């Protein structure tokens, strides 16, 4: 769904932006930080009672790739060529995050009482509006904000069967970055952002706690840019 939406929007932007300004594409790597409680083990020793290991939230990072289109309009508000307003639409794929939740009854012999396998496929469609300033002939800095349409697709396997549960969320973000444009056509860009309100709940409970994936946090991108015109 996100891939089709991205391609449709790219075609619209390309059709509108064929007269002037700076239009191009970028592609590179992306790292998304967050936290989850994916991996946990519940142990039931002889004599009753139980305790859990690893059920608390841990910080995680998700590595993936991103492709984007951008469009900059220079000389905004009569401030000169060094100032511009731009928009960037991207598509990010962070792959699959996997985990296992195990309940182990300790006795003689050891018995495996319960096993949950949980995968989460993560995709993002970020749209950012930003202000850019040319520091020097080859260096540019920018800052902006926008929203990201994020898909967290749960793939849950339990003793009772398996199910897929896709969930979409609109999450606001801030972004800032710097670009080294080493030629008229090519450049390298690094940007740092922060994603808000991106917590996804699986609906699956383990030891009384719902399994979740919270993608709120820092986003880092390093991209190669092509300035088409």
Q: State the DSSP H helix or E strand holding residue 12, giving kind and residue range, or none if neither.
A: helix 2-16
β-sheet bridge partners, residue 73 = 85
- Section 81-96 average pLDDT: 91
Say which residue the tokens 């606001």 belong to: 172
Residue 111 has pLDDT above 50, yes or no: no
Tokens of 201: 């709940």
Q: Spell out the domain ranges in the chain.
A: 2-227
DSSP letter for each residue of 152-164: EEEEEEETTEEEE
Query: Where does the pLDDT of residue 203 fall: very low under 50, low under 70, confident under 90, or very high at 90 and above?
Result: confident
β-sheet bridge partners, residue 40 = 101
Tokens of 211: 């399994």
What is the structure's pLDDT at 209? 72
- Section 116-120 average pLDDT: 77
CATH architecture of residue range(s) 2-227? Beta Barrel (2.40)
What is the structure's pLDDT at 131? 95
pTM as predicted:
0.76
- Section 92-107 average pLDDT: 64
């Amino acid at each position: 769904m996100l891939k089709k939406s991205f391609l449709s929007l790219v075609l619209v932007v390309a059709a509108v932006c064929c007269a002037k300004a700076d239009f191009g594409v970028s592609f590179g790597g992306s790292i998304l930080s967050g936290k989850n409680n994916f991996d946990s083990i519940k142990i039931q020793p002889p004599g009753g009672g139980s305790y859990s290991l690893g059920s608390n939230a841990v910080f995680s990072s998700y590595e993936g790739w991103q492709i984007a289109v951008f469009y900059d309009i220079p000389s905004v508000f009569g401030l000169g060529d060094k100032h511009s307003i731009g928009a960037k639409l991207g598509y990010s794929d962070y792959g699959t995050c996997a985990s296992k939740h195990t309940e182990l009854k300790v006795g003689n012999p050891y018995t495996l009482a319960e096993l949950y396998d949980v995968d989460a496929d993560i995709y993002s469609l970020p749209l950012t509006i930003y202000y850019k300033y040319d520091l020097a002939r080859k260096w540019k800095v920018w800052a902006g904000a926008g929203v990201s349409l994020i898909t967290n697709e749960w793939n849950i396997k339990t003793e009772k069967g398996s199910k897929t549960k896709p969930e979409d969320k609109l999450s606001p973000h801030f972004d800032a970055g710097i670009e080294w444009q080493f030629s008229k056509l090519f450049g390298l860009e690094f940007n740092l952002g922060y994603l808000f309100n991106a917590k996804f709940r699986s609906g699956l409970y383990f030891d009384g706690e719902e399994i979740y994936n919270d993608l709120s946090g820092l986003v880092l991108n390093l991209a190669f840019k092509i300035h088409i015109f």
